[in-house]
Every structure is written in structure tokens, then in C-alpha cells.
Amino acid sequence: MDTLTVWALIFGLTLTSFCSRGAFISLLSNFTPPAPLQRALRLVPVAIFVSLVVPELLLVGGQLQFSPANAKLCAGLAAIAVAWRTRNTLLTLLAGMAVLHLVRTLNS
């Protein structure tokens, strides 16, 4: 790709990036969501983050791998347990990373 196209790409992506983030903070800031929409919005964090996390834990190279050999799955389950019991982000991270590397070491 030549220099001009690269900069056109950067400019285009900047526009999409800012417009999607600023859609309701900056551009349509006076838009008050109706009550049902507000209830829906409360579910946004759960909906998005679970959608991000579950495929990452269960899919290995696009294939469903539901076994103890799946290090990410084991680490994720440990992290869920610790997060549930302690509500502590740092402990959750430490437990998850410890299990990830433990399972990988055991499998290798």
C-alpha cells in the first residue's frame, strides 16, 4: 500500500472510531433513551463482555474444546470462581494466570 492510501486508511478509521464512541456522548448528547431502552442498556456490560469472554475460553483454533487440556478454559473457570467469591480483580487475575501456566506446564 502506498503512503497516500495508508493515510487515507488512518483518516477513515479515525472517523469511524470517533463517531462510534462519540455517537451519544458528543453527537446526539441530548438523546434521552426511552424507559425500555434504558432497561436494555443496563444489560449491555453483561451482554458484551460475556460475548467476548466465552468464545475466547472455549474455542481453540475455531474448534470447541471442552476438556481439562484447554488451559484457557481452566484458567477462566478458576477466575470466575475467584471473582465470584472475592470480587477482587487482582486476585482474579493472579488466579487465572497461575492456572493458565500450571495447566500448560502439566500438558507439555
Query: How far is residue 102's CA from residue 75's CA, in Å, rounded to a whole number?
Result: 9
CB of 101 to another protein, least distance (A): 8
Cα(72)–Cα(60) distance, integer angstroms: 9
- CA dist., res. 65 & res. 47, Å (int): 22
44 lines the binding site for another protein (CB under 8 A): yes
Q: Which of 60, 67, 79, 107 binds another protein (CB under 8 A)?
A: 79
Tell which positions 6-25 bind another protein, by CB under 8 A. Answer: 6-14, 16-18, 20-25
Are the beta carbons of 79 and 92 closer than 8 angstroms? yes
Among 70, 73, 74, 76, binds another protein (CB under 8 A): 76
Contact predicate 31/24, CB 8 Å: yes
Interface ranges with another protein (CB under 8 A): 1, 3, 5-14, 16-18, 20-26, 29-33, 36, 39-59, 62, 64, 72, 75-76, 79-80, 83-84, 87-90, 92-93, 96-97, 100-101
